[in-house]
């Protein structure tokens, strides 16, 4: 499908600089722009490509000032990165949200209740007592256990497994092969040195506008619920253990792990491979750099942490500056000792 600059500008509430009839039917990176492509410039590092791109339309921030003439049509918007995200979301929804119906190769319990315009792909299994809201899309080979509730306008991608009694809110996206509601890692040591499994009888709650990446696991609670609050975005290959609560609008990058019964605050940001110990609390607005190990409760909000065990990032860099000098200091000490 092709859109004109005027159509895009109206949708994004932007201003056109150039030909309002310029058209784009695909989206590309600015350094790879070709005629008929829509690109965006948000990072100044890529400004050089704006003056050489063959793209037909480029989104830029309103504050951006040209240093050279351009051949493409510009659409000036408040936030080019946010605007391209909106367009990509629209493009993606046009490919997926128009799917309707139920494959004859899907198993749907007669005791399940599906809303309007729900799509169920081939090989999916929907158990008894399941409730699925309007316009939700269940891709092929999804398993949905007994008494699961899924809200409106959700995307459940291929291979997802949602165990019994879990609750998924509205406008949620769960990517391929993710598991929601598997047993928490709970074992009690016995007198003989073996371990007895502790039954995990709780469930998982995903509130509205949550997105979970591929191959991520969110364990069910031992009792009550593991809760992912509204607006949370979790990357691929993340482990969230039993009875964890992740506060609203927190984001968590790939290969991170959260141990059991930890409470994470609102608006937190965790880089890749962050590890968070169990039975602690992490304050609102906490930011943790990649490979940070948070082993104790973080009481002060809006801190940036680095290192393992985690410390304030300014202290970390001071300590690291000393750490890098240790080999030279060792040589000096050895020389003094001689």
Region 1-20: mean pLDDT is: 94
The answer to whether residue 130 sits within a structural domain is yes
Q: Which of 96, 126, 155 is at the close of a domain? A: 96
Indicate if 169 and 287 belong to the same structural domain. Answer: yes
pLDDT at 96 over 70: no
Locate 326 and state its tokens: 């240790």
pLDDT digits over 20-50, tens only?
999 999 999 999 999 999 999 999 999 999 9
Asked if residue 324 is part of any domain, the answer here is no
For residue 62, give the DSSP letter.
T
Report the pLDDT value the prediction gives residue 90, as an integer from 0 to 100: 79
- Within this chain, do residues 152 and 41 fall inside the same structural domain, yes or no? no
Q: Are residues 29 and 112 in the same domain?
A: no
**Is the predicted pLDDT of residue 91 greater than 90, yes or no?**
no
pLDDT tens-place string over residues 189-201: 999 999 999 999 9
- Residue-number span of the structural domain to which 91 is assigned: 3-96
Q: Classify residue 335 by burial, with Cβ atoms within 10 Å: 0-12, 13-18, 19+.
A: exposed
Least confident of 19-28, 88-97, 295-304: 88-97
- Residue-wise pLDDT for 125-171, tens only, equals 999 999 999 999 999 999 999 999 999 999 999 999 999 999 999 99
Residue whose token pair is 């002060």: 300
pLDDT at residue 120 greater than cutoff 90:
yes
Residue that terminates a domain, selected from 96, 118, 150: 96
Long-range CB pairs of 260-266 (<8 Å, 24+ gap) are: 260/184, 260/185, 260/186, 260/219, 265/301, 266/229
Question: Does a structural domain hold residue 295?
Answer: yes
Among 178, 317, 182, which Cα is nearest to 254's? 178
Same domain for 163 and 55?
no
Q: Do the beta carbons of residue 72 and residue 53 sit within 8 Å? A: yes
With respect to residue 332, please indicate whether it lies within any of the assigned structural domains. Answer: no
Q: 270 and 253 in contact (C-beta within 8 Å)?
A: yes
Q: Among residues 164, 181, 101, 111, which one has the least CA distance to residue 136?
A: 101
Work out the mean pLDDT of the chain and round it to a whole number. 95
153: domain CATH number is 2.160.10.10
Nearest C-alpha neighbor of 276 from the set 300, 232, 245: 245
Residues 76 and 211 both lie in one domain: no
Q: Are residues 58 and 181 in the same domain?
A: no
- Domain check: are 129 and 163 in the same one? yes
> Do residues 225 and 110 both lie within one domain?
yes
Q: Stretch 92-112: mean pLDDT, rounded? A: 85
Instruction: Report the catalytic residues.
Output: 242
Residues 79 and 165 in one domain: no
Asked whether residue 322 is assigned to any structural domain, the reply reads no
Bridge partners (DSSP) listed for residue 252: 234, 270
118 and 263 fall within a common domain: yes
| 80, 125: one domain | no
Report phi then psi at 204, rounded to 5: -120, 140
What would the mean pLDDT of 196-220 be, rounded to a whole number? 97
Number of compact structural domains in the chain: 2
Average pLDDT, integer, range 218-244: 98
pLDDT value of position 97: 63
The helix or strand, by DSSP H or E, that contains position 6, with its residue range, turns out to be helix 5-12
The answer to whether residue 286 is domain-embedded is yes
Beta-ladder partners of 23: 4
Give residue 236's pLDDT. Answer: 98
Q: The whole model's pTM is what?
A: 0.85
Mean pLDDT of 70-82: 96
The CATH number linked to 26 is: 3.40.1390.10
Of the pLDDT bands very low, low, confident and very high (cuts 50, 70, 90), residue 205 is very high
26 and 159 part of one domain: no
The two tokens of residue 173 are: 């996206």
């Amino acid at each position: 499908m092709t859109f004109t600059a005027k159509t895009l500008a109206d949708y994004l509430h932007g201003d056109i600089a150039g030909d309002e009839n310029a058209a784009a039917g695909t989206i590309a990176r600015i350094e790879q722009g070709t005629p008929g492509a829509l690109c965006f410039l948000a990072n100044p590092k890529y400004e050089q490509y704006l003056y050489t791109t063959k793209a037909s339309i480029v989104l830029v921030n309103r504050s951006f000032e040209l240093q050279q003439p351009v051949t493409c049509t510009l659409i000036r918007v408040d936030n080019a990165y946010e605007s391209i995200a909106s367009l990509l979301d629209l493009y993606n929804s046009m490919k997926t949200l128009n799917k309707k119906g139920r494959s004859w190769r899907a198993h749907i319990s007669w005791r399940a209740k599906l809303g309007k315009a729900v799509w169920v792909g081939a090989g999916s299994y929907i158990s008894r007592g399941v409730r699925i809201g309007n316009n939700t899309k269940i891709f092929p080979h999804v398993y949905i256990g007994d008494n699961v509730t899924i809200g409106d306008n959700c995307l459940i991608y291929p291979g997802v497994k949602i165990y019994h009694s879990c609750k998924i809110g509205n406008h949620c996206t769960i990517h391929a092969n993710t598991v929601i509601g598997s047993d928490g890692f709970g074992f009690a040591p016995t007198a003989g040195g073996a371990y007895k499994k502790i039954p995990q009888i709780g469930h998982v709650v995903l509130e509205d506008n949550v997105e979970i990446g591929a191959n991520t696991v969110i364990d069910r609670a031992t009792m009550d619920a593991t809760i992912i609050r509204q607006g949370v975005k979790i990357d691929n290959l993340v482990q969230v253990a039993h009875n964890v609560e992740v506060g609203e609008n927190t984001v968590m990058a790939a290969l991170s792990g959260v141990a059991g019964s930890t409470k994470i605050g609102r608006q937190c940001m965790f880089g890749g491979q962050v590890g968070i110990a169990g039975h602690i609390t992490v304050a609102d607005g906490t930011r943790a750099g990649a490979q940070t190990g948070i082993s104790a409760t973080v009481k002060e909000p809006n801190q940036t942490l680095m290192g393992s065990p985690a410390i304030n990032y300014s202290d970390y860099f001071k300590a690291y500056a000393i750490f890098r000098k240790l080999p030279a200091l060792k040589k000096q000490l050895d020389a003094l000792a001689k």
